[in-house]
Each structure stands twice: as C-alpha cells, then as structure tokens.
Structure 1
Amino acid sequence: MNFDRLPPALAKALEGHGYERLTSVQDAVSKDEARGRDLLVSAQTGSGKTVAFGIAMADELLAGGELQRSHTPQALVIAPTRELAQQVSRELAWLYAETGARTVTCVGGMDPVKERKQLERGADIVVGTPGRLRDHLERGKLDLSELSVVVLDEADEMLDMGFREDLEELLDATGQNRRTLLFSATMPRAIESLAKRYQDDALRITTMGEKRGHGDISYQVVTVTQSDVENAVVNLLRYHDAETAILFCATRDNVKHLHATLSERGFSAVALSGEHSQNERNNALQALRDRRARVCVATDVAARGIDLPSLTLVIHVEIPRDAETLQHRSGRTGRAGKKGTAVLLVPYPRRRRVEGMLRQAQIPAEWIDAPTPEVIREMDRERITEQLLAPVEVDEEDRVIARKLLETMSAEDLAAAFVRSQRLAKPQPEELLDPTSRPPQRGKRAGFEDNVWFRLDVGRHDHAEPRWILPVLCRRGGVSSDAIGQIRITDRETYFEIPRTMAERFEKSAQRTLKSDSDEFEARARIEVANEVPDEVRNRRPRGEYRGEGGGGYEPRSNKGYEGRHRKPFGRPHGGGRPEGGRPKSGGYPKKGKGYSARPSPKPHNG
C-alpha cells in the first residue's frame, strides 16, 4: 500500500518515520468516500488512530497542498487525559512537521498562563483535555469560531469520565461548517446520541473484528483465593517476565499498597494514580520507557493514553467494572499489530460475573491455573540458559577478571556461582492455595489445615471485640479478611490463625506497620507468633467468639450492659464486623456519645 492518496508533506513524514504502509483505519479515512465527511470511527486502541485523524483533517488544513495560515485554530483535538493529549500532540507534530503547522497542547497540570500566551501567538492545531480547553474558551483565549475540523479521541471514555457538559460547550462554540470526527474503541448509546446531535450524515468506519475488540490480545483468566491475589500477581510477573507490564487496580489506595508490596519483593515498579502530580506521572512513564522500571501499577483513569511499545502484559488485579473497561484496560497492549496478553485475576466466587462480562464483550478467554513455583523455576532455567549462551561483546578488563577467577575456582564452580547470582536477583515465586478446594470439616477452610497461631497482646480487659480486631489484623498484616482463620479472645490476649504459607509474610508486615502506625492503640498492640497456645484456646472456642472467615462467622453474644460503658475500647471502633467497613453482623455501630467513635475503618487492600 502506497501513500499516493496523501498530501506530499504527510507522505514524506510517514516514510521518514518508518511507515511502509497504512494501517486499516488510516487507509479507510484516506479513501475518497471519507473525504470532507463527518466520520464515526470504531477502531482498537493502538491501531494508529492518531495518525488516522491526522490524515483525515489534512484536506481542511492543507487546502491546495499547503498550510492555510489563520489567526484562529483550524483543528481541535479533544482527549480524555493529559497523557493521551500529550501523546496526540507529539504524533501530530511530526506528522505535520513538513507543513510548519503550529501545535499547542492545553492540559490540566501544566502552566495555563504559558498555554494562553501560545494561543495568543497563534495555533493551527490545538490539542487538549475537555476541562482545560473549556477554561480557555470561557476566558476568551480560545477562539473556535473559524474551526474547520474537530476530533474527539476516545470519545466513549470522555463520556464515562463525566465530560459531556464540557464537550457540548466546546462543540457548541464551533461553526456550523466544521467537520466532526469521533474516534472510539466502543460505540455505546451515549456516543451514538452525541453523533446524532453534532454530526451530519456521518460515515461509519469499523476496523475491529466482530467477535472481539482486540484481535492481537490473548485473554487469560486465573481463579485464585482472595488472600492469594497479590501472590498470584507475583507469580504471573515472574512467569511472563514481560519487558513491560501494567497492573490495574480499582482505587488509589490499592495502587499504593500493591506498588509498595511489589517494590518490597524486588520488582522495579512505578505507580500511577490521581494522587500523583504531573511531574511524578511524567517521571514514572519515562522510567518505563527507559527500562529503569518494568512494572506499572495504575488506576483505570491514570492509565488512559499510555503508549508503551514494550508493553506486552496487562494484569487486571481487580475485576473491571464492565466489558468496556475490560477492553480499554486490555488495549494498553496488543498495539499496532504486536501481540499482547491480558490476564484477569478472579476470586473463585466471582467467576460467574467474569464469564458474563466476557460474553458481553464477545471475547474468548482461556481459563488457566496460576503459575506454580515449580513451573516458574523451570522457566527460569530456560531463560538463564538462553541468556548465558547468547553471544556478548566483552572487553579486555572483563577477560582479566575472568582469568583471575579461573585461577581460584573451577569453570563449573564459576558458572554455578554466576547462575546462582542470576536466580537470586529475581523475586521468589509464591506458593498458592487451591481456590476450588472445600473445607474438609466444619469450622475449617481450605488452607487452614496447616496453620500458625499468632498472638495479639490485647484481650477482653481492653474491651477487644472481633469486629474491631479483624480490620486491625488485615491492615497490620497486609492481608484480606479471608486470610484470617479462627479468632479467640481471652482476658488479656487474642489468638488467631494464619495459613502457614502466609505466616512469614504476615509477620514481617505486622512488624513493619507497627513502626509506622500512628494510632496510639494499634501502636501499642504487639503481634507475634504464639510459641505456646493454651489448650483452652486451641481446643475450645469460648462463647461469642469469632471463627474467622473459615469458621462460619459470629456466634451471638449479649451486649447487655456494654453499650453504656464510657471507657474507650481497644483501637478505633471499626464500623461493623467486616474489614470492608460494611454493617456488622449484629449489634450495629457503636453509638456516639457513649465513649466510642462511629468512624468506620478504611478498607484493607483486597487485591
């Protein structure tokens, strides 16, 4: 496929950028039937959409083959996030470099005064986010009256993010003769409604397959226990050994927690969420591009617009809220004809929901088991062998050191030492529980057949209750509620179970959080392995105790006379019997004015 249909300046730019042919969407918008018309384009992320609408707007910008200068912008491109807007601006800059087109980027987080000065000096193409563009428009610094073409990139995501009012104000400020190009990975009803209002006889272009949105992405589903989500992430990263991977979490707090966990385990990771400044986000992305980091932990919104050619693995640490979010997340990989893998981590009880989501998205997925340490070690052997047998260039200094080492040890010992250093440099894989196993007996959950008892030096004397202790254990140990077995409270102490496979990690996390915990009650509570467990604790469950997630929950106990006490109980009274901050299974929240705070606990990390 050649570039005969394109203006010479654009054809030259594409050839200079290494293009040998146009992608499907680029070819479709350059055809005669698409020229001069409004376009409604559905194409997968990474298919070359930016260059496609750059080509589509050429007829308006390059009338007669040359750029038509004007005091007001001729083209406007609206994108949902700062990163995507900046990426679009860079792409259009090199595509129109031969024409001398002036491109101005207007995004939140950057200096608005500088942007206004650039707009006053003149701009041919303006690229920005809805909020910042609307701000310039209302201040009279952005004149859209003479606009020839407007592009809405990732239009579905902008509507999902609540930018409809901003988009409508921007589009209403444009002239009636402008072209409107809508590009979107999906076409929900909201997009069709927007198209009917602002487009006239739009040409519908679809370059995605009918059965799934990303033909170059291999989808896999891994079922795990809730307590093993982080361990499964570790094993997946180790198994795939991707050059760059992105992990999606639902909230900022979960991003922060998972990023800290992976960094502690030895992964070179960065985080992206709404709490990070623009400079922090730029530094994180640059670290990924420079290969100083290989893992990015992000929220959905923060990851919009990320374009990393080396990204081959996406892990949905927490289940996407719907099929469209699944496709948007997964679309960070499998871009521009490259292959990628998207893995969904699914707690076993929620597998039905994921099955329905995949059917809705018409995406075939392979249901597999999480990689085991044995499989990962076998992969390590193959990779290390391949790496060591690959030809490398060495200088004389390398040979001097090698000869000196050979004088003191055999070649086999030297090779073994080097192999060991390669193995130890990699994070260790984790043992995982079987998510499908069932309790062998009442009161015991799978994974608690072999357990470790821990001791907390707080008991009934401190007015401790399971509904307050459970969130504390989850926070301090960095686990979710189903990792806690039976909880048994005595007068001065509390004993609880942790699966042996998680005991060492739980103990380290509990000691680490003790040093940084600012709560006076939690700070004085010491968690340690119980070397001796009283027989009455091990063999008998006192009345009213909590059996843990594996033991059937609470037994009723009378609270008579307790509510009227004015002494503050152990820790902050956390809202309810579950660490998620939901309603307790009995008794309700402690009432204000009775010596308690009704403030619910923060959510512990659940993925």
Structure 2
Amino acid sequence: MIENMNIAAPLAAALDAKGYASLTPVQEAVLADEAAGRDLLVSAQTGSGKTVAFGIAIAPDLLAGADRFLFADVPAALIIAPTRELALQVARELEWLYADAGAKIATCVGGMDYRTEKRRLDQGAHIVVGTPGRLRDHIERRSLDLSGLKAAVLDEADEMLDLGFRDDLEFILSQAPEERRTLMFSATVPKAIAALAKDFQSDALRIQTAGEAKQHVDIEYRALSVQVRDREHAIFNLLRFYEAQTAIVFCKTRANVNHLMARMGNRGFAVVALSGELSQQERTNALTALRTGRARVCIATDVAARGIDLPGLELVIHADLPSNSDTLLHRSGRTGRAGSKGVSALVVAPSEFRKAQRLLQGAKVVAEWGAAPSAEEVQERDDQRILEHPALGPNDGENAELSTMLLERFGPEQVASAFVSIWRQGRSSPEVLSDVAKPGERPEPKPRAEFGASIWYTISVGHTGRAEARWLLPKICEAGGITKDGIGAIRVQHDLTYVQIGKDVADKFGSGLALEEGVEMTRMDGEPSLERAERPVRAPREKPAYKPKPSRFVEDDAPLPERKPYTKRESAPKPEGGWKSDSGAPKGYESYKDDKPKRGPKPDGAKKPYAADGAKKPWVKREPGDGKPWENRDTAPRKPYAKRPDAADGAKPYAKKTEATDGAKPYAKRADGAKPYAPRGASPEAGGERKPRWKPEAGAAKPRSAGFKSQGGKPGGKPGAGKPFAKPSKPKANDTSKRFVPPKKG
C-alpha cells in the first residue's frame, strides 16, 4: 500500500487496486509540499507515469477535501493533449484513477461525433479531456463553459507547439479564470516551452526528475548500418530476430507507411497502420488490434503515434531517421515504459552516418553500432526458440494417448519434422543482406576465387537487344531453379551473350531452354573465345606546318602603301560680309528659283490648275460621275444663294433668289421687342399674317433641341434642354432601404 498523506483517499485506493507498490520519481515530485497549489513545469522521460502524476496532483483542487464529487455544473479540470489517441488514452487512465471519487469525464477530440460530445457536456462533466482544435470549437459554440475551471493541464506541450497549436492554447486558456492552476508536462523543455510557460503560468515550480539526466536507461539503442537497397530487408530481419510481442516501425510520411505496410503484409506479418489520413474509427480499430494481440506490428508516423501506450511494446524501429533528437526520444519512449526493457533500432544508410551520430549525441544516448541481423543469425535464433518452446516442456499426460499413437504411426523423426514445419508456418524466410562497412570505413573488396568446373551456354540476345548482366541473372536463376552462386561469368557481346554455369547444376538446364519469349539459352560444346582481336597500330599522322590565314581586309600579302603625314591647311582670311556663292547669296543659302524648271500646262483630267497671277481660281468642282472633276466657273450653274451687294445694313448677307422678288432680304429686324426677325409683311402692325407653325416634311429628320454641346444642342442653347434623363427623384425621409430609385422621365 502506498503511504503518502498528500494523495486523496479515493485515488490512493484506486492505486492500490491497480497494483501500485510505490510511486515513480515524477509522481513523488508533484506531491511534494513545495508543489502544493502552485503552477508546475515538469519534464520527465516518456513512460515515467506522467498521466497518473498530474491526476493525483490536481485532485486536492478538484475534491477540496471531500471524498466524492458533487453535481457537475461546469468542468473543474481541463486536460489538453496534442493527438486524439493520447487524449483518449489519458481519459482511460483518469477513469480508473477517479472511479471511486465518482468523477464524470468527457472527451472532445477531432474525428468524433460533435453532437455526442455536446450531449455529454450538457449532462455535466467534472474533467474534460480533448485536443486543442475541438476544444476551441466547443468554446466558440458555447457548449463548453470554463468559468469554473480550477486546474488546466497541458500534456506533451512541446508537441503541441510543433503542431502549431499555440493560438488555440492562448484562446482556450483566455476563457478560464486567472486564479486557476496550470500544469505543463513534457519529455523535454526547450526554449520555446520555457517561453510558453512564462505566458501561461505564474510563479511556476520547475520539476526535473533524476531520470532526465540519463535518458531511457531501460532502452537498448542499436544503430544498424545497411545498404540503401537492403533497408526493408533489414527491417524484416529485425522483426524476425526479436519476435517482439508488439513492435512499432516509424516512417516519415504517409506514403512510406502505406508502402511498407503492403510489403510486410505480403511477407505474412500481422500489421496495422497509424497515419493522419485514417479516420478516427480506423485508428481506434488499429490500436484495439494491437492491444488484443490480433496484430503485432504497427507502422506509424510521428504525430499519429505520439503519446500512445501499447502493452508489451518491446521493439521500436526507425525506418526513417527522425528530424531531431527530441523526436528520437519521443519515438524510443514508446518502449521501456514503467521499468520494462525495450530495444530502439535505427536503420542507417551509409549516407546517413553523420546525421545519426548527431541525433544520438543531441539525445544524450549511446548506441551500439553494428550490422543488421543476417539470415544465419535469424535462423539460429529460430532454432533456439523451437528448442525452448513450452510445448516441449514437462508433459502432464493429458495428450499421452494421442502422442503415443503419433509416435507409433509416424515415428519420432517425422513427428519432430512436422512440429518444426508447423512452427515455421506463417513466418517469412530471413533475408540475405549485403555486407556494409563500418561507419566511416569503406568495405574491403572480396577476393575473387576460382569458379571451378563449368559449362558454357549462349543466350540469343546481346547489346543490340539491350541485354545486361543484372537483367539476365534473375531470369537464369528462375529458369533453372538455382541461386546466383551457380552462375559464373556473364559476357554480353554484340548479338549474343555467353553464360558460365557450374557443372554440378548444369543438368537443370539440359541442352537448352527458353528464358522468356524470344530469348533462348543453348548449351555450347567447349568454351567461347572471349579474347579481343588486337587492333592494328596506326602510324601517327604528321601535322601540316602552321600557316596563318590572310587577313580578310587585305587582298594579298603585299605590304600596305605608306600614307602621307597629316598637315594642317592654312585657311585664307575671311572676306568682309562672309563667303558668297557665284549667285551673290551667302554660301550655304543659295537660291535655286531661277534654275527651277517651269511647269507646263496641265492635261485634261490632271490636277486642277492654279492661276499664275494669284487671282481666284476659275475652276469649280463638278458633281462626281459626270466626267471631269473640275470645270470653268463661268459656265457652271450658280448656287441658289449669292452674296448681296447691298448688305451694308447688317442684314443677312445671303438670301434665296427665288423668294427675294424685290432684291431685298426677306427677313428684317422687328422693332416691337418680340422675336428679332420675322418675314416682311407678316407682323400684325404691317397688316400681314403671322408665320405659320413649322411642320417637318415627310421623311425629314427631327431637328435637335438646343442644349449643351455634349447633348447634341448648340453651345449657346438653353442648359438642360434635350437631356436624355431627368434628375432622379429624392427618396422619402422614412425610407431606409438602399434600393435603386430609377430616374423619372422628362
């Protein structure tokens, strides 16, 4: 029984029922007297019991001295986890821990039914466990009230920062009272976590357990050097060598998870996958299969497997190296939990030696470097397991009669052989791996031994058929049912290929066989001649003497003529008035009018002639289509209007000749102040009739109204006349709508 006065009575009883004989260092640290009622920043290695630690740490604040919870009005505690699996795992741990206290625990995680979670919150919950995104959704929709929160716990805080949940955390904690307790738990405390603690906590107590100084003392680290092409085969051999009850293989991407799962499923491994593309139901089924033993291998990404606790997890394989040392610790922390032993194996290609060393050094762990388990080592371990099988132990006589019948009918040798075959059934064969050098060293070349007695064959394909040794080797092995050890040299020629087959396995090929359609393998009598004919040695060519090319600016190689030296001319004195030409004009301004040839008369149909004396042109333009475009003005018909010679009174200078009978203008200015012009004799004072209203003739265009020039009127017209639209009407005072008011027609 655990003796600690700071543990609430209902929780102490639950720990005793669970079989806890003592507390882990981190659990003892959170129950110390100096940690009571304070904010805590705790760093401890994975698998050290952090969930139970913060469960018993917040119990005094939630129960307030009572043994059972009262009616759940609003949540008293909030647990925030980075992933769905970790949140559900924390909820399961708290359910048995707070079972005797009558606590109601609700979960709010992504991928689950929102209505079911809301209904559970409406019924009342003392403790709420969830992921940041879904918790924020419930708060914004007012289905989660944090006004009565007494304690908030941030589990795996560093992972929540890596996933970009800082804004969600700030929003969630801003809805909680400031006098709450805030506890932050993480495997590592980098600078980002320390800065986050200053923002969310007040006078926090830093707790660092002793186990953090030496990371994962219960985990054996191994770094395996493999060739790139043998990476997957090394993983298969690792799983076969350790035969762990549960193993987990970490990959970087979802695509790698799917690829490796397909390969391992074909090899007969009971495998499941965990990645972000799976639904919550699929991920739950995968974890259930691992816990019940229906699956033994889990292939997962870093985020999907963060914080999960699988029973009997003995082996962690890093198929892809992690990005940093913290991720390496979190991956490896899935095994070696609560005092159990585990193995963390890193599969390292030659190009990743330096990166693996930096990761191990940053994580402060020491790994044993070596090669991956070979096929012989896996087979030897299998034989040892068969000899130590429990069925071969002491017999209680229950199946003695049947055992005697088997021995009498089949004999001991056949029964033992059948037992071995049944045990190996369903297990994949071990893989043969290539040799690899130690870190920083190059592999030594193997000495080439004599092949021995052999028989040569020809294959009806060569370089012209794009034949290669690496393409032919597996086809020859498959056709004859032999291994590559029975094949010697492969010499690809121009049209065919020679293959050397060991004499002890040559009978499987006979006189010849077909490797595939169009590719025949035929036995030879004797050995082929593989020596290349020596090429005749050509005499070196004599290079001609160098002769420079002639310049492209010179016709021949004759020397250039000598040029006279430049001498400055003595200029004559400038005469008065400047230099003049022969015509008497200044030089440069000579007139060529006198020298310009005169034009002759224009022929008919040419351009209109102009009078030489500058008088008015005697030609007028004729109507088009009637011959010459120009004709004499004297013979052309006159316009209906002509300028009056007596236009000295300011009247209209032009009048229609047919209406002006007396030769005077038909319109004159009125003296009565009305319209300034009216037809003569049409005013009432003159006794005439008024001008009749103008009516347009049939087919005539309607005259434009006076107005602005842009509206088709004259510049001096009345403003606004002839506008196409009138000013829109003003809306009523009580009309608050913003609808469009069409303009009224003018």
TM over 0.5: yes
Change (3 A) 1:393 1:298: farther
**Residue type matched to 2:169 in 1?**
L
Give the percent of matched residue pairs that are identical in Structure 1 and Structure 2.
Answer: 53
Matched residues in 2 for 1:98 and 1:109: separation?
Answer: 30
**Residue type matched to 2:278 in 1?**
H
Q: Does the aligned pair in 1 maintain the 2:25–2:210 contact within 8 Å?
A: no
Q: Is 1:96 paired with 2:103?
A: no
Q: Does the aligned pair in 2 maintain the 1:40–1:183 contact within 8 Å?
A: yes
Aligned to 1:464: none
Report the alpha carbon displacement of residue 212 of structure 1 after superposing the two structures with TM.
3.4
- Please give the secondary structure, in 1, of the residue aligned with 2:470: strand
Matched residues in 1 for 2:144 and 2:294: separation?
Answer: 39
Q: Does the aligned pair in 1 maintain the 2:469–2:492 contact within 8 Å?
A: no
Aligned to 2:182: 180
Q: Is 1:83 paired with 2:88?
A: no
Change (3 A) 1:36 1:496: farther
Q: Does the aligned pair in 1 maintain the 2:371–2:436 contact within 8 Å?
A: no
- Please give the secondary structure, in 1, of the residue aligned with 2:317: strand
Q: Does the aligned pair in 1 maintain the 2:251–2:319 contact within 8 Å?
A: yes
Aligned to 1:509: none
1:540-567 residue CA offsets vs partner (Å, 9 max, x unmatched):
xxxxxxxxxxxxxxxxxxxxxxxxxxxx
**Residue type matched to 1:199 in 2?**
Q
Q: Does the aligned pair in 1 maintain the 2:222–2:368 contact within 8 Å?
A: yes
Q: Does the aligned pair in 2 maintain the 1:36–1:179 contact within 8 Å?
A: yes
Matched residues in 2 for 1:74 and 1:276: separation?
Answer: 33
1:519-538 residue CA offsets vs partner (Å, 9 max, x unmatched):
xxxxxxxxxxxx99852389
- Please give the secondary structure, in 1, of the residue aligned with 2:351: helix
Matched residues in 2 for 1:149 and 1:538: separation?
Answer: 81
Q: How does 1:123-522 map to 2 (within 5 A)?
A: 123-388=125-390, 391=393, 398-436=399-437, 437-438=442-443, 495=468, 497=470
Q: Does the aligned pair in 2 maintain the 1:38–1:181 contact within 8 Å?
A: yes
Q: Is 1:536 paired with 2:494?
A: yes
Aligned to 2:48: 47
Change (3 A) 1:41 1:211: closer
Report the alpha carbon displacement of residue 100 of structure 1 after superposing the two structures with TM.
0.9
- Please give the secondary structure, in 1, of the residue aligned with 2:112: coil
Matched residues in 1 for 2:396 and 2:473: separation?
Answer: 46
Higher relative contact order (CA 8 A, sep 6+): 1
Q: Does the aligned pair in 2 maintain the 1:9–1:98 contact within 8 Å?
A: yes
- Please give the secondary structure, in 2, of the residue aligned with 1:313: strand
Aligned to 2:603: none
1:189-241 residue CA offsets vs partner (Å, 9 max, x unmatched):
11111100111111111115354332211111001111100000011111111
Matched residues in 1 for 2:395 and 2:33: separation?
Answer: 53
Q: Does the aligned pair in 2 maintain the 1:42–1:208 contact within 8 Å?
A: no
Q: Does the aligned pair in 1 maintain the 2:44–2:211 contact within 8 Å?
A: no
Q: How does 1:543-558 map to 2 (within 5 A)?
A: none
Matched residues in 2 for 1:390 and 1:27: separation?
Answer: 46
**Residue type matched to 2:126 in 1?**
D
Matched residues in 2 for 1:158 and 1:90: separation?
Answer: 21
1:391-429 residue CA offsets vs partner (Å, 9 max, x unmatched):
477786x44543332232112321122123223442111
- Please give the secondary structure, in 2, of the residue aligned with 1:261: helix
Q: Does the aligned pair in 2 maintain the 1:10–1:98 contact within 8 Å?
A: yes
Aligned to 2:515: none
**Residue type matched to 1:49 in 2?**
K
Q: Does the aligned pair in 1 maintain the 2:254–2:275 contact within 8 Å?
A: yes
Aligned to 2:32: 31
Q: Does the aligned pair in 1 maintain the 2:224–2:372 contact within 8 Å?
A: yes
Matched residues in 2 for 1:151 and 1:534: separation?
Answer: 70
Matched residues in 2 for 1:331 and 1:124: separation?
Answer: 30
> Rg bigger for which structure?
2
**Residue type matched to 1:64 in 2?**
G
201-210 or 347-356, larger mean C-alpha shift? 201-210
**Residue type matched to 2:182 in 1?**
T
Report the alpha carbon displacement of residue 503 of structure 1 after superposing the two structures with TM.
10
Change (3 A) 1:57 1:500: farther
Change (3 A) 1:498 1:299: farther
Count of aligned pairs: 469
- Please give the secondary structure, in 1, of the residue aligned with 2:183: strand
1:354-387 residue CA offsets vs partner (Å, 9 max, x unmatched):
1011111111111121111111111111111011
Q: Which of 115, 120, 123 pairs up with 2:122?
A: 120
Report the alpha carbon displacement of residue 502 of structure 1 after superposing the two structures with TM.
12
Change (3 A) 1:438 1:234: same
Q: Does the aligned pair in 1 maintain the 2:122–2:143 contact within 8 Å?
A: yes
**Residue type matched to 1:267 in 2?**
F
1:230-260 residue CA offsets vs partner (Å, 9 max, x unmatched):
0000111111111110000111111111111
Q: Does the aligned pair in 2 maintain the 1:25–1:43 contact within 8 Å?
A: yes
**Residue type matched to 2:493 in 1?**
D
1:7-28 residue CA offsets vs partner (Å, 9 max, x unmatched):
1111111111111111111111
Change (3 A) 1:501 1:149: farther
Aligned to 2:506: none
Q: Does the aligned pair in 2 maintain the 1:208–1:214 contact within 8 Å?
A: no
Change (3 A) 1:440 1:381: closer
Matched residues in 2 for 1:236 and 1:207: separation?
Answer: 33
- Please give the secondary structure, in 2, of the residue aligned with 1:315: strand
TM-score (norm 2): 0.60
Gaps of 5+ in 1: 442-454, 458-487, 506-530, 540-607
- Please give the secondary structure, in 1, of the residue aligned with 2:100: helix
Matched residues in 1 for 2:243 and 2:88: separation?
Answer: 29
Matched residues in 2 for 1:388 and 1:127: separation?
Answer: 44
Aligned to 1:58: 59
Q: Does the aligned pair in 1 maintain the 2:223–2:368 contact within 8 Å?
A: yes
Aligned to 2:617: none
Matched residues in 2 for 1:333 and 1:86: separation?
Answer: 19
Matched residues in 1 for 2:191 and 2:16: separation?
Answer: 38
Report the alpha carbon displacement of residue 144 of structure 1 after superposing the two structures with TM.
1.1
1:307-362 residue CA offsets vs partner (Å, 9 max, x unmatched):
11200100000000110110111110011111111000000121111101111111
Q: How does 1:551-570 map to 2 (within 5 A)?
A: none
Q: Does the aligned pair in 1 maintain the 2:77–2:151 contact within 8 Å?
A: yes
- Please give the secondary structure, in 1, of the residue aligned with 2:386: helix
Matched residues in 2 for 1:178 and 1:31: separation?
Answer: 19
407-416 or 126-135, larger mean C-alpha shift? 407-416
Matched residues in 1 for 2:277 and 2:316: separation?
Answer: 22
Q: Does the aligned pair in 1 maintain the 2:41–2:183 contact within 8 Å?
A: yes
Q: Which of 74, 77, 101 pairs up with 2:76?
A: 74
**Residue type matched to 2:276 in 1?**
G
